[in-house]
Structures are given as C-alpha cells and as structure tokens.
Amino acid sequence: MGSIKLKSNVSNLTGEIKIPGDKSISHRSVMFGSIAHGETVVTNFLPGDDCLSTISCFRKMGVKIEEKDGTVKIFGNGIEGLSEPAELLDVGNSGTTIRLLMGILAGRPFFSTLAGDESIAKRPMTRVSEPLSKMGAKIDGRKNGAFTPISIRGGNLNPIRYQLPVASAQVKSAILLAGLQAEGETTVIEPASTRDHTERMIRQFGGQIHRNGQEITVVGGQKLIGANVHVPGDISSAAFFLVAGAIVPESEIVLKNVGLNPTRTGIIEVSKNMGANLEIIQKENSSIEPSGDLIIKTSSLKGTVIEGDLIPKLIDEIPIIALMATQAEGVTIIKDAEELKVKETNRIDTVVNELKKLGAVIEATEDGMIIHGKTRLKGGIVSSHGDHRIGMMLAIAALLCNEEVILEKPESISVSYPNFFTHLNSLL
C-alpha cells in the first residue's frame, strides 16, 4: 500500500477522453455469456480488477473465456454447463460479482464457496441470501450467512414474489438470475427504480422479462443465446471528469461514448440542477444501452437538495457530487442515502472526513450529508481507504488545492478505472 503526490493548483483542464467501459454492464456481459448457449463477443470491456474477478470465477466453473485488448469472447454451454468449482470463488473487491453470482449459483445443483477481500468481508449478504434461501437454495456463511465466506448448495428453486426492502440493483439482479432457474414466475417489487442493465441484458440474450410499474417478472426455464455486446463508457467513471470540468477554472472537456441509461443519469440531473454548463450529444445506435458524448465547461454552480427516487440513480456518484457541492454557492443537502454505509467503505463518513482534511465545510447526517459552499480547498494527506471512488474523488479535489496533496492507497482506483491518472494527465 503506497502513496502518491497528486496534481494540485491546476489552472485549467482541456481535451477529450474516451471513457472506459461500464463496470456494471461488463460484469453482466460475462455472466450472461457464461450461462447462454453459444459464443458471446463483448467489445469495450472494462479490464478493471472487479470485472477480471468475474471472469476468473466463471473460468473456475469450466467456462472458456478469452480476453484481449478490451474484447472478451465467451464460449457458453448454457447455465446447465457450469461445473462445480474445485476451489474457492474469489470475488476480490467486487460486490456485483458476489451478489449476482449468488443468484446464479442458487439454482445450480452443486456446492460452491464465495469470498473476497477485507472490504467484501464487511459487506452485508443477508439481503441476497434471505430471498435466495426462501427460493430453496441452501446458503451459509459467517453469522448465519450474513457475511463471507458464503457457501451455497443450489438447485430445485421455487419461484418467489419478493418486495425489496431497499432499492438495490444487485439484490434485484440476484433474484432475477435465480428466477431464470425456478419453476414458474418470479416477481421482484422495487421501492424505487434501480439500474436496469440485467433486465436489458436478459432481452439482449433472447430472454423474456416483463415490467409492470415497479414489478419485474421473469419466467424460469428460458434458454439464453450468446450475443454481441458493445459496452458503452461508464457514466460513474465519467462523473469524475464531468465534475472536474465544471469546477476547475477555464476548462472544457469532451467525454466520448458515455452510457446514458436513464436509470443511471442522476449525476446529469444533479449537475444541471446545480447550473452546470453541460451539453449532451445523444448517439443514434442499435445497442440496447443508450450512449452519447458529453461536453462540460467551467460552471457557476449553486447548492441543491438530492433525495428520494433520485438516490438510486446516482448512488455511486455521491462522493464526487459532494466535492462538486463544495464549489457551489449555498448549501447542498444529500439525504435518503443510507445505502452508502454498506459500500466499499462507509462512504458517508469517509467522504466527510477526507474532504474535511482539505478544508471542506461538510457534515455527516444519519442518511447523507450537508455541504456548505463555496469553499477554498487546501492541501493535506488523504486516503482512499481502499475505495476506488473515494480515491478518484480526492484526485479531482486536489486539482483545486493550492498546496500539496498526498493520496494514500491510490492502487484501489484500478478496481474500476485502471487508466484514470493517464486520462487526468492528458487534460493538464
């Protein structure tokens, strides 16, 4: 675990960045390719540590996967073609890998064990193990299946009608993946709409799935067929440069090929509400996921309130939104974001504590934070705490600081954005 000196006191940012592939879609493309029949080709795949953990897990279950220069070929033999892994399935730092994989493994008639790093060991799994157990999977782990390592003996699933206690795309996806293997119809009811990449991908691989209001229903026993998947740029990764372009003086940044799935564009809504000078050029394409280019220029920002149904659409972007709020006139209030407490870190406390070190006027609340702007940031020693999104947020914050900023644990950034510092330096 090292530390690096970040770029600080930057006068402007200009240039164009091709945003790396979407992490959520990259994960799911490997999973669906592995449980489908025939060849799947994924282009613009994100070769970050998290997505490589997903590939590794499926290889251990006998799936042939080739990965080279952002293109992945998966040779699927259907979900029944998965074989019992002889060793532990190591998910690394990836919450998406473990939770969605639990849904797939719940229906497989073999034994498997899942574990990851220290961060994963602290993240709650009951929200997934509980509904999957109700469907008939035998799941155990530390504290009655609440924490990793998690063991699963799957097979013979019953359908379920399940009301999600929290708006979580990972839990929803796990149940839908299990539902594809159950006898009959499985329905998930969401309290608020969450990212719908799983539903889109079921259709892309030839499956049927139906939505009625907040209810999503899938029928078991469907045969999925291999597909070609082009992964758009990750809006969660684009968010860091979107905010950088808005808050660094005399800046203009073009972000190419950004995914614009309406369940993920909360960062764009908030940026516009705060007065960001942002232009969106929507692409006309045949892909199942919408995308486009974003042009962001230095902006005069004002405080806002972020709450309710907007939260699931920007849950991963809250760290960088908090930084943006430090450079807006007035007060920004973020609430209804309790989910941040069970991410790679407790992101409410971590964001507040790290930004305070740089001079931000920010306080934690039970379900979010209150940020006072506009604040001049100063230097200091900060840490990612092993959380990729905190690390990138602090690197963008440093651009505004008039003194030296040292970032501890910068290596966590490679989880979702291996080329982050290369792209940042290209704008200087």
211 labeled part of a ligand binding site? no
What's the CA angle centered on 57, arms 55 and 164, to 5 degrees?
Answer: 100
316 labeled part of a ligand binding site? yes
Q: Any bridge partners for residue 43, and if so which?
A: 230
170 labeled part of a ligand binding site? yes
How many angstroms separate the CA atoms of 415 and 394, rounded? 16
94 labeled part of a ligand binding site? no
299 labeled part of a ligand binding site? no
291 labeled part of a ligand binding site? no
Q: Which residue carries 């943006």 as its tokens?
A: 324
User: Which positions ≥6 away from 284 have C-beta within 8 Å?
Assistant: none
Q: State the catalytic residue, choosing from 90, 234, 293, 316.
A: 316
Whether 336 is a known active-site residue: answer no
Q: Are 102 and 108 in contact (CB under 8 A)?
A: no
23 labeled part of a ligand binding site? yes
Residue 387 sits at φ, ψ, to 5 deg, of: -110, 115
389 labeled part of a ligand binding site? yes
347 labeled part of a ligand binding site? yes
200 labeled part of a ligand binding site? no
How many angstroms separate the CA atoms of 77 and 38, rounded? 6
Secondary structure (3-state) at 27: helix
How many angstroms separate the CA atoms of 345 and 350, rounded? 7
300 labeled part of a ligand binding site? no
Q: Are 97 and 50 in contact (CB under 8 A)?
A: yes
Residue spans of alpha helices (H) in 106-228? 118-122, 126-134, 142-145, 169-179, 197-204
Give the residue ranges of the annotated binding site for 3-phosphoshikimate: 23-24, 28, 168, 170, 316, 343
Give the residue ranges of the annotated binding site for phosphoenolpyruvate: 23, 95, 123, 170, 347, 389
Q: What residues act catalytically?
A: 316
Give the residue ranges of the annotated binding site: 23-24, 28, 95, 123, 168, 170, 316, 343, 347, 389
